[in-house]
Amino acid sequence: MSMLSQQVQTYLESSSWIRRMFEAGREMKAKYGEDQVYDFSLGNPDLPPPAAVTKGLQRLAEQAQSSYAFGYMPNAGYPDVRQALAQRLSREQQVALSEQELLLSCGAAGGLNVLFRAILEPGDEVVCPAPFFVEYTFYVQNHGGVLRTVPSREPDFALDIEGIEAALSEKTRIVLINSPNNPTGRVYSASELRQLAAVLDAASRKYGRPILLVSDEPYRFLTFDGTQVPPVLPAYQHSVVVSSFSKNLSLAGERVGYLALNPEMPGKEELMDGLVLTNRILGFVNAPALGQRLVGYCLEASVDLEVYEKRRAAMVEALDAGGYTYAVPQGAFYFFVQAPGGDDVAFVQTLQEERVLAVPGSGFGFPGYFRLSFCVPETVIRNGAASLARARQRWQ
Amino acid sequence: MSMLSQQVQTYLESSSWIRRMFEAGREMKAKYGEDQVYDFSLGNPDLPPPAAVTKGLQRLAEQAQSSYAFGYMPNAGYPDVRQALAQRLSREQQVALSEQELLLSCGAAGGLNVLFRAILEPGDEVVCPAPFFVEYTFYVQNHGGVLRTVPSREPDFALDIEGIEAALSEKTRIVLINSPNNPTGRVYSASELRQLAAVLDAASRKYGRPILLVSDEPYRFLTFDGTQVPPVLPAYQHSVVVSSFSKNLSLAGERVGYLALNPEMPGKEELMDGLVLTNRILGFVNAPALGQRLVGYCLEASVDLEVYEKRRAAMVEALDAGGYTYAVPQGAFYFFVQAPGGDDVAFVQTLQEERVLAVPGSGFGFPGYFRLSFCVPETVIRNGAASLARARQRWQ
């Protein structure tokens, strides 16, 4: 008899096809050689961390021999790191943030779990545009909530404001957006945010309690063609930004992120008290001490963005040569491409036969498309172009 | 209207008295000076990390400039670190552990949450001897479970095996012990573990599914007078060890711990698959990369245990001089002392008036006692002895 809960057993069963895909990719690499398989399936930053990370680790080594060097700290994180981050975010978000509105979290994933744990009652709903980062489903269900998704507008994945409005109910506690979006690369415009805020204001009044707007922004650092990511905090009073340093500092394994509350939000103190508590009781206790310190030293650092620009250009070339239909991503490191023939799972299978690894849109709640990550060396993209084209031809 | 869930609001309200105590302590320190207040309330390791941590950080600095240096990794943790840890644990637990049975977690707290998320259905019970680490209540309730506590035997806090047996039911999924125990310092003997295992075996058969025995052992490194912590894995097939490196390496803020499954447990592969999944979806994703690497470099290192021995001896002297009744702790860095008069909250108030900070036993589900941490410089203990004695005299 299984020791796992029914729900977790079901999760394991339904994730088995992803595992099969992953295993198939690994077998292909073993058979044909690493460089003969074009793996566009993962969003795992391959650039080395910026030099500031090395210097930061040296500084940490120098500080190690003291009491409480990396001991317990306030559950919200080191006050000085939060203060420095508040300054940076005040510029980014165009509001006056202080460390009081900041909680350092175990990545954005930890931040979202802490937030959902603090807010959701069983059956409460989180509304989210599709396609969406598939882990959101789990983060919401972990805390008894329900993720309600609203398809975005094709072909450019703009928010369907009317669709979101129609999805709101007395059960809605949170609307969750992700900009730049994984998997589409879409950046929501200031005008979209304004319209969304108006809808949320009206619904909050209608149902007699605030609906929170949560913006998940780990790709904010990575936009193209001069695209700006408009700040969400000035657009809506009950707003929260969640983000991480996984991608911009190539520190994904160290798990440092944050939650930032709108300083204009009524009741923000109580909400922060709740977040500090749930950060503690969910077992995070605090964001990792070494990572917090490192991030504090590296707030102005970043991996080399030009590398990503070149990769995006290479992918545009490859997709155009193959005759694919897609929206050029404004940010992040993904293309969300129409599946020739319309069946994304079938087409991803064809790609795999041509030694190209991709993720079907169904995995993001949006069938008919597939995701290609360009977080891979440019040569992989260039060398994979012919395979991409062959797969397309097979579905003419 | 509050944005928090009812449950989290209730948590905040009920934790307010702890906060008041903490605030009172802070005010006292501000008023009388840090060294005129004897703060025995916290279990925050004050010893600097061992020198190996400094060397480890230097090594990490040397490795930083490479792809995936601190990037994503398997959700269970770096395979080589798990392998090295498995070797150490094989010795400690006297079983042949491999990395397949190990998951690196975000501290023991993260490990317990991952385990409870994987196993508990709403209403399922976790049985635990009292006094117990108060956070257990939250960890269980986070995942819809119920913590059912069984008072230990006085005066030495031995397990009440019959009491535990009586508490088991078809709802029991887990029995959770903590050895060396916080707050009592008790180490459960091999004979206690054998008796407990027999009871759990019988109950597992009776109810037709395995009851897991989980041993939380972050203080295993710290025992006195030659006390050995008997290994739990050889004692019972369905057993799990959870622990952390917070105390033995003074790395509490970096959040590295682990779950180790009994290699003889039927169904361990599926359980591990579930744990890897819940580690991911709860937002931990993986234990912090820097901490994992560091711990891998420091598996044979430890803070200086002699320091704790001297502190324990100083506390014995102080308590004896004051005329207190207590069991000498076999491990960990706490004394659990009888409250003169029997009312622990009232007595802790008296202690506070004498500028001694302690935690009432009620906070650990065991009124009538109070906890003193000796994780403080020896001088604090020696200087606080007179205050301890005065408080005792007031309740003669």
State pLDDT tens for residues A140-169. Answer: 999 999 999 999 999 999 999 999 999 999
Residue A61 to residue B54, Cβ atoms within 8 A: yes
Please tell me the distance in Å from A284's CA to the nearest CA on chain B. 6
> How confident is the model at residue B14, as a pLDDT?
85
Give how far A267 is from chain B: nearest CA, Å. 7
Query: Is the omega angle on the peptide bond into residue B183 within 30 degrees of 0, that is, cis?
Result: yes
Where is the domain boundary, A297, A323, A358?
A297
Contact criterion met (CB < 8 Å) for B58 and A61: yes
Both B44 and B135 in one domain: the answer is no
| pLDDT of B44 | 87
Residue A92 has pLDDT above 80, yes or no: yes
A148 and A274 together in one domain: yes
A119–B4 C-beta distance less than 8 A: yes
- State how far the Cα of A217 lies from the Cα of A230, in Å rounded to an integer: 11
Binary contact (A109, B285; C-beta < 8 A): yes
Judge whether residue B16 has pLDDT over 80.
no
Determine whether the interchain pair A9/B274 forms a contact, defined as Cβ–Cβ distance below 8 Å: yes
Nearest-CB residue to A5 (from B57, B64, B120)? B120
Last residue of a domain, one of A241, A265, A297: A297
Q: Is the pLDDT of residue B19 over 90?
A: no
What tens digit of pLDDT does each residue of B360-371 get?
999 999 999 999
Per the CB < 8 Å rule, is A69 touching B57?
no
Question: CA-to-CA distance for B56 and A52, rounded, in angstroms?
Answer: 18
Nearest Cα residue in chain B from A66: B48
Shared domain check, A172 and A78? yes
Distances (CA, A) of B313 to A39, B185, B302, B317, B370: 61, 14, 20, 6, 18
- In a domain, residue B367? The reply is yes
Taking the Cβ of residue B119 and every Cβ of chain A, the question of whether any pair is shorter than 8 Å is answered with yes
Q: How open is the CA angle B17-B28-A270, to the nearest 5 degrees? A: 35
pLDDT of residue B91: 97
Strand partners, A176: A214
- Percent of chain A scoring above 90 in pLDDT: 94
Tell me the three-class secondary structure of chain A, residue by residue: CCCCCHHHHHHHHHCHHHHHHHHHHHHHHHHHCHHHCEECCCCCCCCCCCHHHHHHHHHHHHHCCCCCCCCCCCCCCCHHHHHHHHHHHHHHHCCCCCHHHEEEECHHHHHHHHHHHHHCCCCCEEEEEECCCCHHHHHHHCCCCEEEEEECECCCCECCHHHHHHHCCCCEEEEEEECCCCCCCCCCCHHHHHHHHHHHHHHHHHHCCCCEEEEECCCCCCECCCCCCCCCHHHCCCEEEEEECCCCCCCHHHCCEEEEECCCCCCHHHHHHHHHHHHHHCCCCCCCHHHHHHHHHCCCCCCCHHHHHHHHHHHHHHHHHHCCCECCCCECCEEEEECCCCCHHHHHHHHHHCCEECEEHHHHCCCCEEEEECCCCHHHHHHHHHHHHHHHHHCC
**In the numeric block, which tokens belong to residue B59?**
């090594």
pLDDT computed for residue A44 by the predictor: 87
Q: Is A3 on the interface with B (CB under 8 A)?
A: yes
* Residue A271 to chain B, least CA–CA distance (Å): 6
- Same domain as B266, residue B127: yes
Across the range B228-237, mean pLDDT stands at: 98
- For B296, phi then psi, to 5°, come to -60, -35
Q: Is residue A205 part of a domain?
A: yes
Note the pLDDT tens digit of each residue in A291-325. Answer: 999 999 999 999 999 999 999 999 999 999 999 99
Clarify whether residues B33 and B181 are in a common domain.
no
By CA distance, what is A73's nearest residue in B? B253
Mutate to test the interface with A, among B58, B278, B290 (most CBs of A within 10 A): B290
Q: Does B17 reside within a domain?
A: yes
With contacts defined as CB-CB under 8 Å, which chain B residues touch A113? 282-283
Residue A303 contacts B, CB cutoff 8 Å: no
Indicate whether B20 and B114 sit together in one domain: no
Residues of A in contact with B142 (CB under 8 A): 117, 281-282
**10 Å Cβ neighbour count for A380?**
18
Percent with pLDDT over 70 in chain B: 99
- Please tell me the distance from the alpha carbon of residue A64 to that of residue B55, in angstroms, as a whole number: 9
pLDDT at B23 over 90: no
Identify whether A106 is part of a domain.
yes
Nearest CA in chain B to A44: B72
Per-residue confidence at B68, pLDDT binned at 50, 70, 90? very high
Is A170 found in the same domain as A282?
A: yes
pLDDT confidence of A345, banded at 50, 70, 90? very high
Asked if A41 and A373 touch (Cβ cutoff 8 Å), the reply is: yes
Of B297, B329, B356, the one marking the end of a domain is B297
Question: Looking at CA atoms only, how far is residue B110 from chain A in angstroms?
Answer: 4
Interface of B with A in 260-279 (CB under 8 A): 267, 270-271, 273-274, 277-278
A396 lies within 8 A of chain B by CB: no
**Cβ proximity of A184 and A327 under 8 Å:** yes
pLDDT in tens, B136-149: 999 999 999 999 99
Check CB contact under 8 Å for A135 and B281: yes
- Strands in B239-244's sheet, in edge-to-edge order, are B102-105, B257-261, B239-244, B212-216, B172-178, B125-130, B146-151
Instruction: Tell whether B111 lies on the interface with A, counting CB pairs under 8 A.
Output: yes
Record: contact B67-A53, CB cut-off 8 A: no
Whole-angstrom distance, CA of residue A105 vs CA of residue A128:
22
Query: Mean pLDDT, chain A, as a whole number?
Result: 96
| CATH number, position B16 | 3.90.1150.10
- Whether the pLDDT of residue B396 is over 90: the answer is no
Q: Which residues of B touch A80 (CB under 8 A)?
A: none
Among left, alpha and beta (phi > 0; psi -120 to 50; other), residue B123 is left
Q: Are residues B339 and B217 located together in one domain of the fold?
A: no
Share of chain A above pLDDT 70, in %: 99
Kindly indicate the confidence band of residue B22, based on its pLDDT and cuts at 50, 70 and 90. confident
Q: Within a domain: residue B1? A: no
**Predicted confidence (pLDDT) at residue B21 exceeds the cutoff of 80:** no
Q: CB-CB: which of A12, A53, A106 is closest to B277?
A: A12
Bridge partners (DSSP) listed for residue B239: B213
Q: Which of A2, A69, A250 sits opposite B48 (nearest CB)?
A: A69
How confident is the model at residue A302, as a pLDDT?
Answer: 95
Amino acid at B154: E
Q: Is the per-residue pLDDT at A178 higher than 90? A: yes
Q: What is the number of structural domains in chain A?
A: 2
Assess whether B179 and B206 both reside in one domain: yes
> Which residues of chain A neighbour B209 with C-beta distances below 8 Å?
1, 3
Would B121 be classed as within a structural domain? yes
Asked if the model's pLDDT at residue A22 lies above 80, the reply is: no
Which member of B65, B69, B267 has the closest CB to residue A3? B267
ipTM value > 0.90: yes
Whole-number pLDDT of residue B389: 98
Write the CA distances from B47 to A64, A330, B377, integer angstroms. Answer: 11, 50, 9
Q: Is residue B310 a part of any domain in this protein?
A: yes
Q: How far apart are the first and last CA of chain A?
A: 49
Question: In chain A, which residues have their Cβ closer than 8 Å to the Cβ of B49?
Answer: 64-65, 69-70
pLDDT of residue A43: 86
The pLDDT tens digits for A211-252 are 999 999 999 999 999 999 999 999 999 999 999 999 999 999
For residues A286 and A310, membership in a common domain is answered with: no
Indicate whether A69 pLDDT > 90: yes
pLDDT of residue A78: 98
Say how far apart CA A169 and CA A199 lie, in whole Å: 12
Of the CA atoms within 13 Å of residue A210, those in its CB half-sphere come to 20
B107 at A interface, C-beta within 8 A:
yes
Q: Same domain for A336 and A241?
A: no
- Rounded CA-CA distance B291/A255 in Å is 11
| Residue B35, pLDDT above cutoff 80 | yes
Cβ separation A281–B11 shorter than 8 A: yes
Residues of A in contact with B273 (CB under 8 A): 12
Which pair of structure tokens corresponds to residue A194? 């304004």
Q: Which domain holds residue A359?
A: 6-49+303-394
**From A3, A69, A72, residue closest to B271, measured CB to CB:** A3
- Mark whether B71 and B182 lie in a shared domain: yes
**What's the pLDDT tens digit per position in B81-118?**
999 999 999 999 999 999 999 999 999 999 999 999 99
User: What is the predicted pLDDT for the residue at B25?
Assistant: 83
B338-345 average pLDDT score: 97
Q: Is B57 on the interface with A (CB under 8 A)?
A: yes
Per DSSP, B49 falls in state P
Closest CB to A254: pick one of B113, B280, B289: B289
Q: Which residue of B has its CA nearest to A108?
A: B283
The residues, any chain, with a CB within 8 Å of residue A241's CB and separated by 6 or more, are A89, A93, A214, A215, A217, A232, A233, A259, A260
Kindly state whether residue A147 falls inside one of the protein's structural domains: yes
Judged against a pLDDT cut of 90, whether residue B1 lies above it is answered with no
Closest CB from A64, A253, A283 relative to B112:
A283
CA angle centred on A100, ends A99 and A104, rounded to 5°: 60
Give me the residue from A53, A117, A209 closest to B142, CB to CB: A117
Q: How close does chain A come to B278, measured CA to CA in Å?
A: 8
> Would you call A3 and B210 a contact, using CB atoms and an 8 Å cutoff?
yes
